[in-house]
Amino acid sequence: MNKVLILSDVLQDLGLAYRYLPSTESTNDDARTWLDEGAADMSIVIADEQTKGRGRFERKWHTRAGAALASSLVILPTEHELDLVHLFSPMTGIAVAATLEKLFGLHPQIKWPNDILLSGKKVCGILSESAWIGSELKGVVIGTGINITSDAIPPGEMMSLPATCVEAETGYPVDRWLVLREYLTQMFHWRTHLGNEHFFHFWRSHLAYLGEEVEIQGNLEKDVTGILEGVAENGDLLIRSGQQRIQVRVGDVHLRLRPQ
């Protein structure tokens, strides 16, 4: 069946507007353009291939056709959500983790601030970008790239963390559109729980490196080393360093296990 018809069937009862592209440079750029044109809330751009996908720290990669689930979602925050926009990225991580858990019985972990791990290896990256008109938030574009097949795994020199794919973890072929449908269903669900106790319980219970010694490097006064204790209500990472508890804010920082 034609991919566009399959997508239409997958998304029809969710009531979402979508744009499917056989190939594009960046779904986030396409979604941002659509947002500027007046995209509705929860509109989604899906691409078979990305030639200039990007992530944090301006990392770029090529998503091979059919190998990953590459999509970008437009969210128009409600008045209630304006103070919680900083939680949209972790909300997406929660939705992806819940999808992999529900569909395949896998045990995903959420690596702060925005990677999903399986067996300690990266299976999904998330990039959240806000669009402003002056001081007014116009909308948020959230891009996700979920590695489905081994062709989605980038060369080793491009990775800051070992990578895996869903099929490597399940041991059998995976339907990308089934994953897409469940991911969007989970996004609707977790958006209704944004920032509440249920939200933080799931996040904390799936947090990678919890209780382990980590290092955080980046735009900090100095690198931070300590035991990862959890996340604060504002999304900051909590690190115990000696007798001091340090809160690390999302930014141009890199979290990793401390080498033994």
Tell me if 50 sits within 8 A of 70, measured CB to CB: yes
> Could you state, in chain order, the average pLDDT of each consecutive group of 10 residues for the chain (260 residues)?
66 87 94 97 94 59 82 96 96 98 98 94 95 93 96 71 95 95 96 98 97 86 88 93 88 79
Q: What phi and psi values does residue 228 have, to the nearest 5 degrees?
A: -75, 120
Quote the pLDDT of residue 184: 96
Question: Which pTM does this prediction carry?
Answer: 0.93
Rounded to whole angstroms, the Cα distance separating 174 from 171 reads: 9
Quote the pLDDT of residue 189: 97
Q: Which two tokens stand for residue 84?
A: 């919680």
Specify the fold of 213-257: SH3 type barrels. (2.30.30)
Quote the pLDDT of residue 259: 80
Q: Of 3.30.930.10, 3.40.50.300, 3.20.20.70, 2.40.50.140, which CATH number belongs to 3-205?
A: 3.30.930.10
For 152-197, the DSSP string reads GSPPGGG-SS-B--HHHHHSS---HHHHHHHHHHHHHHHHTTTTSH
Q: Using CA of residue 179, residue 181, residue 182, residue 185, what is the dihedral sign?
A: positive
Quote the pLDDT of residue 213: 96
Provide the CA 38 distance to its chain's centre, in angstroms: 24
Q: What is the DSSP letter of 163?
A: B
Rounded to whole angstroms, the Cα distance separating 242 from 239 reads: 10
H-type alpha helices, 105-165: none
Domain boundaries, the chain: 3-205, 213-257
Provide the CA 252 distance to its chain's centre, in angstroms: 16
